[in-house]
Structures are given as C-alpha cells and as structure tokens.
Amino acid sequence: MDKLKEVNPGMSVNIVANVDMAKEITEVRNAIVYDVDGAKLVLSQTNPPFTKYHLDKEITVTYIVKGEDTLSRVGFSGKLVGILKDYSLYSSNVVQALNVLRKGGLKTYDLRMHYRVSPKSDSGIHVYVGGERVSLIDISMGGARFCHSKDRPIESRTILNIILELDAEKFNLEAKTVNVWHPSEAGRRADLEYVSVQFMKLDRTCSHNLSGKILAIQRELLSKD
C-alpha cells in the first residue's frame, strides 16, 4: 500500500466490532482519527459509545481511499486498549477518546453490508416504525439506527415490521432490534430512545435502490475531503 493510503489524523474511519460472534452480528461505528504514533492511535469516542466492556477486544479500523477511477476500502486489525475521558484536542477543547493499538498491516475490506451513512433530511431516505416516521441516525445495507419517543418503547432482540422509504417508494421490511439505549448512556435528550436494527432481508429492488443511495451519500462526503 502506498503511504498516501495510510491512516492519518483528521480522517473519518469506521470501527468494526464483533458484538455477537455466534450470530455473526457486527456493529460498525463512525469515528475521527485524532492522532497516530506508529501503531498507537487516538480516535474519537463513538455514538453509542464504546465502554469498559470493549477493552482488549479485537476491532477492525477501516476507511475509504480514492483511486484514479474507483473508491476502495482499506483497513487494519487492532485492539481497543483504553478509553480517555479528558483527551485535549486543543487547550480549551477536552473530549472523550479511544486508544487503539494497531496489530496488522493494511488490506482491502468489503463492508458494503455494514458501511453506515448519515442521511440528510432531504436525502429521500426515511424509516417508519408503527406507522410513525422515526429520526434516522444512520443506515447501511445491513441495518439502521434511529431515535424515537420513549412513550412507545421498543424491546431489544425483537422483530419489528418497518417501512423503508426511498425517494417516495416504500418497502415493507422485517428488522431485528440489536441494541436499545437511552440518553443517560448517550448524553442525549431524556425523552428519546435510541434503537439499532438489523434488516432481515432486502428484496432486489430495495437492495439496488438503497445501495445507490448509500453510494451517492458516500461520494458526496468524499468530495468534501
């Protein structure tokens, strides 16, 4: 790999963590690279946040690189070795951060099923649960994360019937709730509940339309780098 493709401070990366190896469920969280010192990296804390439970667990850090005509995803294996509560970005800016120890060299990854994007309100991507539109945080080919009112709580590890709307075309889907968390854990509004779901199956049309949407958002983000 060329040095231009090595990870550098300021890059947006995805942290891939195996949260349920037996069921092959993975969680992908977005982060920013704060610092790189050889095999030692400092990354931004994620949402939902990594906790002490994840310490010393294997992770994969991936990111997009631009070639002449194509986009490629590269990355490396590593381990989460520390959680910093008061990392100084600047003299007046103290944030939470993650210490990651890199353990392998760069290689190519294919995370199309797991690469998450955060759609804007005018993206044409919407999710409905129980007939009500929820606030979409991010979405991938494998699932989505959203928040909604705690007045209608959702239980973890249940199957939901949801509607995925792509440019006014609606698809009825089954989705399994992978994780449910609350503001006290995420530092958000107290009247909201946050939910992560895994899509059980996408038909060909839905899969094609959603992948096109995700790729368009990904290209837009890269064009701003």
**CATH number of the domain enclosing 153:** 2.40.10.220
Residue 11 lies in a domain: yes
Residue 115 lies in a domain: no
Structural domain ending residue among the three candidates 55, 75, 109? 109
Structural domain ending residue among the three candidates 52, 79, 109? 109
- Cβ atoms of 134 and 148 closer than 8 Å: yes
The distance of Cα 191 from the centroid of its chain, to the nearest Å, equals 23
At 24, is the pLDDT very low, low, confident or very high (cuts 50, 70, 90)? very low
Residues spanned by the domain of 52: 3-109
Strand partners, 198: 143, 176
65 versus 164: the higher-pLDDT residue is 164
Does 24 lie in the same domain as 51? yes
Residue 68 lies in a domain: yes
Does 102 lie in the same domain as 7? yes
Does 99 lie in the same domain as 14? yes
Does 101 lie in the same domain as 162? no
State how many domains the chain has. 2
Residue 116 lies in a domain: no
**Mean pLDDT of all residues in 42-64:** 90
**Mean pLDDT of all residues in 117-133:** 92
* pLDDT, the chain, mean: 84
For residue 72, what are the CA distances in angstroms to 65, 75, 159, 174, 219? 5, 10, 34, 30, 12
At 22, is the pLDDT very low, low, confident or very high (cuts 50, 70, 90)? very low
